[in-house]
Structure formats: C-alpha cells, structure tokens
Structure 1
Amino acid sequence: MNFFKTTYTSKLVFTALVIFSSSCSDDYLEEMTYGEISPSEMTSPGNVDRAIIAAYSLLNGQYDASSSAFNSPASNWSFGDVVSDDAYKGGGGTGDQNNIHLMEIFNTNPTIIDIERKWVALYEGVKRTNEAMRLLQNSQEYDVALKENRMGELYFLRGHYYFELKKIYNTIPYIDETAATVNDYAVSHTQYTSEQLWDKIEENFSNAYERLPNDQEEVGRPNKMTAKAYLAKTYIFQGQWQNALDAANEVINSNKYSLLPNFRDVFLPENDNSSEIIFAVQHSVLDGAPDNYNGSIGDRLSAPGGPFYSQYGFHRPSQNLVNAYKTNAIGMPVLDNKNLAEADFVDPRLDHTVGRPGIPYLDLGVLYEASWARDLSTYGPFAPKKRIVSANSPYQIKTWPYISALNYYIIRYADLLLWKAEALVELGDLEGARAVVNQVRGRAKDSQYVMNLEGTTPAASYRIETYNTPWTDQATAREAVRTERRLELALEGHRFFDLVRWGVAAETINAYLEVEKTRRTHLTNANFIEGTHNYFPVPQKYLDYLASTK
C-alpha cells in the first residue's frame, strides 16, 4: 500500500484550538486526544509532518471516533446527488436517516445533523491546515526546499476545504493561519462578499501552484498541475470562461493525465491513482485504523444489498437518471424522460453506473435483481454500481462497517475535459467543444461493455456515437455538454452543484419532481424554491456560538 493509504491513522490533535466553544455544545466538535506534545517539540520536523498528515486526514470527512462520516461524506452523495435529479435517498423508508429525507424534499433546516457535521468536518480541515501552516512556518529545523512544497500542499488543502464550504453553504467565515485562539474562530459568515471569498479561494490555489513541484514521490499529495486543475474548477464556478480555459489547457498540455481506455477500469481500487485521476481522497482498509475508518466510511450506506452486501440500500439511482442514458438508433442521447424499455438502445455507461434488474452486477456471476433493493416500493429497483467494489475484491471489507478502499476522485481528467468543453461553448468555439466532448464519448464507445453471464453478447442494446454533425447553435451545444457531464459523472456527487452554478436548478429540479412524484410518493411534498434552496443553511449551532461570543 502507498504512503498515504497507511499513514492516515496518525492524527495530531490540537486541543488549544477548537472551532466551537465547549460551553456552546459539548458534543458539536468532540475530538479524541491521542497524545500531548510539549510546545517546544511541536515544531520538530517529525511533529510538523504529523500535523500536515492530520490536515490531509479530514479529506474523507471522518473527524471523530464515531462512524457517522456518512453525514459528512467526501463524495457529497447526499449533498450533490440525492438533492438533484440523479438519486433518491434510499434506505429503509423516509424515517431511516430522516435528516437526509428532509434534504431530499427541500425541507432542510440548520439543525439537521448532516448540515452540522459537514460544516464541522470541513472547518476541522481548515483548522488543522492553519495550525500545520503555523508550525511549518515556525520550524527552524525543517528542510528549506521541502518546506516550500509542504506549504504548497497546505495552501491546496485549505483551498479545497473552503471551496467545498463555498459551494455548499455559500456564505461562510474565512479564517487563515493567523488564528491562534478560540475567539479567532468566532468570525461572521457574512464578513466577506461572495466575490471576496472566491478571491481568497483562488489565492490559496495560486499559492499552491507557485510552491508545488511538478511531481510528487508519494501518491496522494497534490502537484503543480493538481493546483492548476482546481483553479480551473474555481474559475468554472464563477463563469470566468477564458481563465478556466487557459487553466484547463495548461493541465492538458502538461501531458500528465489521460483518459483510461476502459470506463469501468476508472473505478477499480487497483487503479485508484491512474492517469485519469488528478486528485483523490486516499482510502485504505486493513491498515490498522480503528474500524477501518481510513476506508470509504462516508459511503458506507451505499451497499446495494442482495446476497453479497449488507442491505443499507442508500444512494439509489432515480428513474430519471436511468432514462437519461437512453439513446436513439444513431447513438445520440434521447432526453424524453420516458421510462426505459427493454428494447431501447442505451449508453453503455448506464450499466457501469447503475445496477439494473436482469443485468450482471460487477464480476459476481449473478444478475442484479429488484429484490436486492431495500424498500423497493418506496425507492424503486435500481442500485448504485459505479463506485461499488466487487465483493470478490480484497479491497472490500465484508464485515462491519462494510466499506472499501476505493478512493473518492475529487477531480478526474474527464471532469477537466468537460470543463474545457463548457468554457469553449461559452466563448463561442462550438467545434472545439464538440471535439473535446467527443473524446469523452469516444472513450465510452470504445470501452468494454457489460456482457451477459456467459460473456458471449452485450447485456443490453448498447449504442453510442460521437457527435459527427458540426455544432452551429450555442444553446444546443451547451445542452450537449451539460448532458455529457451528467452521463459521465453520474453518482459522483457533482450534479446538484452543476445545476446551481448553471442557474437552472429550480427549472430542472421542479420539472424532475413534477414527473417523479407520479413514480415515487416519498417526493409528494418536495419543492425547490429559487434563492432559498440553492445552498444549504449555515448550521444553527454555529450561529448560536457566534451570538454567545458577543
């Protein structure tokens, strides 16, 4: 196993700094003290390294000794998929993790545990990063050349944590490494404008880019192009199309990354750090961590059930998503949202992404059955598949908490290519955008298809083609790029945030709900309100904490 898969168990806890006062809530940010180090020893190179590793460790959303990272998942399956048109909550009915059900029907409130835990996990990442920066800057013994690299990593991590906070909550407090006391973290979430916050996030990634090396010896650490790719993402979210295009082109022209030939191979744990992965949360199992907390703990409720997995049954693909993979006789998307019929042509990525009745499930030698699905009557027959690891794999733990070592990909190369295509459309280069989208569709076309159990014929009527007709209409090209993002990145936690930044969340989600309510009664009371549900509320406990400090 690699360095980062085996060292996430090292956690240096700084008891002098907490984000929320204990008098406000003793259980809101509980931290386990693994050991105390005298102040004079804190800046030794070894302890600085431990502090840096502690900053990395929050990437997977696990910040305490519970197993509740599914309420603060790195993959954002609940924050990015369940509240979109891609997925239902799933589980054992609406009362099972009712907090996520409330999110799904847009009855979210600032006391929901997911709203609180995600906030705490990300700010714990900020806090650890800030403190690691302070220690690194004050260390006289740390190797000078390596210090610059490590500072670049910390700027990158802080940029990531703040990017996540900005896209989820929008108005957030910004705290840097000058914070030294509890009161320094009592900062208003309205102190900065949206533009100022984006500027600060950009600054973190720019500082990372300036300091990071072209290559890292250890996988899991960002390099110069990782930072540039995240800058591209930051520009994309602001609609800064030329900046986004320039940043994406620099990453592409570095030739550090490429699409894997086979779509399914991207999601095999043994390929976790392949040429397609620009940055990922490093997961591991059987590494000595308590209860395998270094694994994909945030996704542990996604197990599909059936004879091979525990029946948690969350993160269930929607009928609308399945329908989106329908294609016509020439392999182009059909976006009519009519329920997929057995004779319909489909994009081959469907059966790598979704477990469907009558289609083989991974390499298990069985057909997926509707009966695998927990609470079939409420959430329908489909199961997640793309990010589920085969029960035959040594990277899948078959005992509690039933998790895998599959990394979560924060940015992969296909994602970057589609940002480039999006920027090109908005800048008027429609043919350039078509060529980029065709790289992604071409990989899907040339990939290995899911075969029947005998391995003799494709398991369904797969048909996909690249766009062979010139794009001459910007609106049509824009829709094609957005559709490709959905098909390529489905169930990877991006969909809701894409809809919001495109300005079509209310239109898309309410149209989805209008039809979906006729299929799924648990959505009867769901309604998306523009300007209210585009972002999640700042946790009430944080607001109460601020009030208590005045």
Structure 2
Amino acid sequence: MKINSRILKLVLVFIGISTLSCSDDYLDEVTYGEVSPDEMTNPDNVERAIISAYSVLNGQFDGASNAYNSPASNWSFGDVISDDAYKGGGGTGDQNNIHQMEIFNTNPTTLDIERKWMALYEGVKRVNEAMRLLAASENFDENLRSQRQAELHFLRGHYYFELKKIYNHIPYIDETAAEVKDYAKSNTEFTSEELWNKIETDFEAALKVLPETQTEVGRPTRIAAQAYLAKTYLFQGGWQLAYDATTAVINSNYGLMDDFQELFLPENDNNKEVIFAVQQSINDGQPSNYNGSIGDRLLAPGGPFYAQYGFHRPSQNLVNAFKVNAEGLPANSNENLTDTDPVDPRIDITIGRPGIPYKDLNILYEADWARDLATYGAFGPKKRIVSANSPYHLEVWPYVSALNYYIIRFGEVILWRAEAAVELGKLEEARQLVNQIRERAKNSAYVKTLDGSKDAANYEIELYNTAWTDKSLAREAVRTESRLELALEGHRFFNLVRWGIADKVISDYLKVEKTRRTHLSNASFTADKNEYMPIPQAYIDGIEDGLVTQNTGY
C-alpha cells in the first residue's frame, strides 16, 4: 500500500520537530528540536503535544503563508460559495482556485480543497498522537490527565465536524493509529450516521469532564462541549436533541454582549458571548505572525489604511437583505438598496458601504477602495476587520490582526434553539428568541456620521410583535435572522446545505446576480453534487486503489 506524503506527512514525528502556538498566553511558542523516544512521554513534552493539537485551529499547519487556502473562518468555503459574498481580489485570475469554487467549477485538484483537508487532518493527527502520549505518560499530573484528555476529545470533535460538513464522506482515524499506514483509510468505512455518532462521542466525552470555567483562555469549557454537541444534532435535523442540548447553554454564564459592534473588537476577545474561539495574536515572537488571523490575511479592504488585497466582498444580494419594511422587519426584497431605504443597523457594522464611516478611522468608505471595482462591486468586509488604529492590527506584511475567530458564540446558539423550537412547534418561544437577537441589535450603538451629529443611514429595526402561528413563516424568519446576525462569519453556505435549500437559494441567487456581476456568468449549482467538496485527488491517488470513493458528481 502506498501513501501520499503530501497528504499524510509527518504523522508520527511532528512532536520531535517543533510545535506552534495559537493563543495569546498559554499557547506560547515552544521550539525544542529533536526529542528522543524515551523522553516523549515526559509530562512537559506531552503538554507540548497537546498545545500542537490546538495550534492548527487557525488553519496554519506548515511553513507556507497561504493559510488563506485553509482558513479557520471558512470565508471562502462558507461565504464566497453562498449568496453572501464574492471572492474579490484582483479579478478572476487572482486566486483563480477560489473563483472556480465560487462558480461551482470545483474539482478534486483545486488547491483549497487539498489544503483545507490537510489542515484538518493535521489537527486530527496531532490530537491522536497527543492522546497516545498522554495515555503512556506515567508521571503526568493525575489531576490534569482527564481534563487534557477531554480537551483532546473536544478538539478532535471539532476537526472532524469541519471535515464532515465540508467533504461529507471522510476517513475516520482515531488514537489507535500508530503508524503512517494507519492513516490510509477508506472514506466509506462508516456511514454518515456512524460518522456523526463518532463526532458526538468525542463531544460527549469532553462534556463529562471539562470544567465550568478555564483559567487559561482558549481551552474549551463544559458549556463549549455542550454547545458543539447541540450543533452536531442540529446538522442532523435532530430537533429535540438540539433543543435539549441548548438548555444548559442558554442557562449558563454565557450571554449576549450589550452592543453588537463591540462584540467584534479584539480588546473584547473571550467576552461573555464567545463560547469557543480560535485564539489569535500578533507581535508575540511567532515567525511571520502566524498566530494572527493568517487565514484571513487577504481580506484587507484596501483604501488609505489597509493592504490592497480586497477579497471577501459582500454581495449585492447580502446588502439588499438588510433592507427593512415599514414595520422595521426584514423586507425580503432583492431590489438594490438605495441611500434612503430604511435598513437594519447591523448592515454598517457588517459591511463597508460607500459614504458610510469606516470603523473609527474618521474617514468614509469609498467605492474605489475596491481592488477590482468593475468585477466585484463597491462593498467591502467590515465586521471582522480590525481598525487600522488598533494595536491589534499589524500594519506590515502579512497584515493580520489579533481578533479571534469565534467558532461558536452565544447569539448563534440562541438562533439554533429558535430553529429547533420552530420545528418542534414552539413558535412563540422561537419568536421570543429571535427578538432577543433583534433587541440587542436595536439597542446597540449605531454608526454615526463623521461629525457624530446623526445616524449615518436610515436605520430601523423592530421586534416581531405579532404572534407566530404559521410554521413555514416562522422557519423563514429564523433563517433570515440567522443570515443577518451571522453574515460574513463563514456559516451561510453550510446552513443552506443542512436546511436542504442550497440548490434553490443559490440557483435563484445566481439567476439575478449574473445580471449584476459578469464574473458569475458561468456559475451553475448542481444539486446532489455541489453541497459538498470533492475528496482531494492527491489523497485518492496516494493510497490503495479503490479504497477511497469520490463524492457524487466529481
């Protein structure tokens, strides 16, 4: 049996080379050269192995600087191939691999398909090896052993969750893998249900042991495991299980930040709304600042303060989604937004729009900030862009920031519960939950004109004040709220897929958007194919013939 070294590299030797950091404090860089086999189970080295399992959460897993092809934020995998964003950049030839993803011309050799797979399986591999070392360490602190084991279960659950939602049919390898050949597995050995069960088992194991709070930021808590377990149920349509699993989260010490805009400031990282996040930092001694938002480094919007990369451009369709009707509720109109239209105030926290102040820079966002205005339009990302005035923004290459990426936040859990409540017929509870999200948006500070004298746009947002009695309308309201609240956070496409509406939504989107943006002229979504990415051809070619089955349509 042959094994492709690019896909299954460094399976058993990574700890003996180095480990990388991914946190502001406890995951400090540790580069310690070769470690002899008899020292591998030394408690300090086991802790380093565990740290290395955390370190690839941000998508950076090797010495290259292209984690933007395997971003933790899934800006390309979750937003660009949805109706929320265009690729952006310097035209379709700039990162053409992502352009091919955007028009659904992806194939098994696409760079991002391979890099994302490699990053996530690197995480799996590091978890498995850390588990083996932890079990073999005779001198490891017994008071910590079970907690570290639970953390590793949580991390493995995360990596496999990402693999499952992106590739669907995946090889599953656990800590019994001791040699390189043990990682050459079939992707059809387990059914979809069996794979979900294994992911659930990891989160359940974490849930039983993890503490209520952690003294070191970045390590998961019991509530984080509970929330992730709820998410696995949600992706399977297990409504009662998802509803029940969110109860402990809703009743926990986590909660909504008072101001929507302040939620995305790096100085507020690890606030009460953030349940689990990729910890990112800059100027911490890590070479090339790889502990920063390295997977998002192409998102800098241009203009006088930022690098001219210009990727992750909000779509006209997304901009239009923030329009509200006379009652202050979503208008659900895809007519192009005008300057006088009433809009949800979250639009100017989420999106850079011409004529609207950008962050705290005392400047209006301008259409010509766009690197390729003719191709991708005038709008830019804003929500997760850090102010150029902030010490958490790196002004030199690779132009990253220290803003964490929120894998799960409390606002999202509220929407999960609302979604499950609708499917269980609890329509009034769902309305109240959605209103919590809208009330926070209503009471947040609105973007002001440069002189601070008035609102920068015609902001209007109200609660749903009429009882919900129609299940289909309630379902649509929850889904719309999820789009508005979570826009450009990398979730949209995966939600469309699990809702079973990706084909209709994307096809309807493309029908209109092609008249606005010529780069989409050849885009076409194929049902029962484009919901998932192909298995990388390098993985298929690298192991025994017939062991791996390609996903349908590729």
- Is TM > 0.5 for Structure 1 vs Structure 2? yes
Counterpart pick for 1:297 among 284, 294, 297: 294
Give yes or no for the alignment of 1:133 onto 2:117.
Answer: no
Q: Which amino acid aligns with 1:134?
A: R
Distance of 2:141 and 2:417 partners within structure 1: 38
1:33 Cα deviation from its structure 2 partner: 3.2
Distance of 2:81 and 2:299 partners within structure 1: 16
**TM alignment of 1:378-417, pairs within 5 A:** 378-417=375-414
**TM alignment of 1:1-80, pairs within 5 A:** 21-22=4-5, 33-34=17-18, 35-80=33-78
User: Structure 2: where are the runs of 5+ without partners?
Assistant: 19-32, 548-554
Give yes or no for the alignment of 1:243 onto 2:227.
Answer: no
User: SS at the partner of 1:279?
Assistant: strand
User: SS at the partner of 2:275?
Assistant: strand
Counterpart pick for 1:187 among 182, 185, 194: 185
Q: Judge conservation of contact 1:283–1:296 (CA < 8 Å) in 2.
A: yes
Give yes or no for the alignment of 1:436 onto 2:433.
Answer: yes
TM-score (norm 2): 0.94
User: SS at the partner of 1:316?
Assistant: strand
Superposition RMSD in Å: 1.7
Distance of 1:464 and 1:425 partners within structure 2: 22
1:22 Cα deviation from its structure 2 partner: 2.9
1:135 Cα deviation from its structure 2 partner: 0.5
Distance of 1:26 and 1:535 partners within structure 2: 25
The 1:24/1:172 distance shift into structure 2, 3 A limit, reads closer
1:525 Cα deviation from its structure 2 partner: 0.6
CA offsets 1:221-268 (integer angstroms, 9 cap, x no match) = 0011110000000000001011101110111112x2010110000100
Distance of 2:315 and 2:37 partners within structure 1: 53
Residue in 2 that maps onto 1:491: 488
User: Structure 1: where are the runs of 5+ without partners?
Assistant: 1-18
Q: Judge conservation of contact 2:214–2:220 (CA < 8 Å) in 1.
A: yes
User: SS at the partner of 1:363?
Assistant: coil
Residue in 2 that maps onto 1:421: 418
Distance of 2:457 and 2:13 partners within structure 1: 50
Q: Judge conservation of contact 2:76–2:87 (CA < 8 Å) in 1.
A: yes
1:21 Cα deviation from its structure 2 partner: 3.7
Q: Which amino acid aligns with 2:140?
A: Y
Distance of 1:24 and 1:126 partners within structure 2: 13
Distance of 1:30 and 1:72 partners within structure 2: 22
Q: Which amino acid aligns with 2:236?
A: Q
Give yes or no for the alignment of 1:224 onto 2:207.
Answer: no
Residue in 2 that maps onto 1:156: 154
Q: Which amino acid aligns with 2:475?
A: R
Q: Judge conservation of contact 2:3–2:181 (CA < 8 Å) in 1.
A: no
Give yes or no for the alignment of 1:510 onto 2:496.
Answer: no
CA offsets 1:139-196 (integer angstroms, 9 cap, x no match) = 1111112101100100000000000000000000000000000110010111110000
Give yes or no for the alignment of 1:215 onto 2:213.
Answer: yes
Counterpart pick for 2:144 among 143, 146, 152: 146
User: SS at the partner of 1:315?
Assistant: strand
Distance of 1:416 and 1:279 partners within structure 2: 12
Counterpart pick for 2:353 among 347, 351, 356: 356
Q: Which amino acid aligns with 2:17?
A: T
The 1:312/1:28 distance shift into structure 2, 3 A limit, reads farther
Q: Which amino acid aligns with 2:53?
A: A
Residue in 1 that maps onto 2:446: 449
Moved more, 206-215 or 276-285: 206-215
Residue in 1 that maps onto 2:261: 264
Residue in 2 that maps onto 1:460: 457
Q: Judge conservation of contact 2:12–2:179 (CA < 8 Å) in 1.
A: no
User: SS at the partner of 2:65?
Assistant: coil
Residue in 2 that maps onto 1:371: 368
Distance of 2:261 and 2:424 partners within structure 1: 32
Q: Which amino acid aligns with 1:45?
A: P
Distance of 2:8 and 2:205 partners within structure 1: 35
**TM alignment of 1:302-313, pairs within 5 A:** 302-313=299-310
The 1:23/1:335 distance shift into structure 2, 3 A limit, reads closer
The 1:217/1:28 distance shift into structure 2, 3 A limit, reads closer
Residue in 2 that maps onto 1:170: 168
Give yes or no for the alignment of 1:316 onto 2:294.
Answer: no
1:547 Cα deviation from its structure 2 partner: 2.7
Distance of 1:221 and 1:117 partners within structure 2: 25
Distance of 1:23 and 1:369 partners within structure 2: 43
Q: Judge conservation of contact 1:24–1:548 (CA < 8 Å) in 2.
A: no
Q: Which 4+ runs in 1 deviate beyond 2 A?
A: 19-34, 547-550
Residue in 2 that maps onto 1:285: 282
Residue in 1 that maps onto 2:26: none
User: SS at the partner of 1:345?
Assistant: coil
Q: Judge conservation of contact 1:29–1:120 (CA < 8 Å) in 2.
A: no
1:270 Cα deviation from its structure 2 partner: 0.6
Residue in 2 that maps onto 1:112: 110
Q: Judge conservation of contact 2:12–2:180 (CA < 8 Å) in 1.
A: no
Q: Judge conservation of contact 1:24–1:544 (CA < 8 Å) in 2.
A: no
User: SS at the partner of 1:360?
Assistant: coil
Q: Judge conservation of contact 1:346–1:461 (CA < 8 Å) in 2.
A: yes
Distance of 2:545 and 2:13 partners within structure 1: 19
Q: Judge conservation of contact 1:228–1:247 (CA < 8 Å) in 2.
A: yes
Distance of 2:325 and 2:485 partners within structure 1: 18
User: SS at the partner of 2:408?
Assistant: strand
Q: Judge conservation of contact 1:169–1:536 (CA < 8 Å) in 2.
A: yes
Q: Judge conservation of contact 1:188–1:546 (CA < 8 Å) in 2.
A: no
Distance of 1:25 and 1:80 partners within structure 2: 25
User: SS at the partner of 1:458?
Assistant: coil
User: SS at the partner of 1:361?
Assistant: coil
User: SS at the partner of 1:410?
Assistant: strand
1:330 Cα deviation from its structure 2 partner: 1.7
Distance of 1:234 and 1:257 partners within structure 2: 20
Give yes or no for the alignment of 1:343 onto 2:327.
Answer: no
CA offsets 1:19-70 (integer angstroms, 9 cap, x no match) = 9543989899997933211111111110010000000001000000111100
Distance of 1:448 and 1:329 partners within structure 2: 21
Residue in 1 that maps onto 2:550: none
Q: Judge conservation of contact 1:364–1:392 (CA < 8 Å) in 2.
A: yes
User: SS at the partner of 1:547?
Assistant: coil
Distance of 1:39 and 1:89 partners within structure 2: 46
1:329 Cα deviation from its structure 2 partner: 1.9
Q: Judge conservation of contact 2:257–2:272 (CA < 8 Å) in 1.
A: yes
User: SS at the partner of 2:83?
Assistant: coil
Residue in 1 that maps onto 2:198: 200
Residue in 1 that maps onto 2:82: 84
Q: Which amino acid aligns with 1:139?
A: S
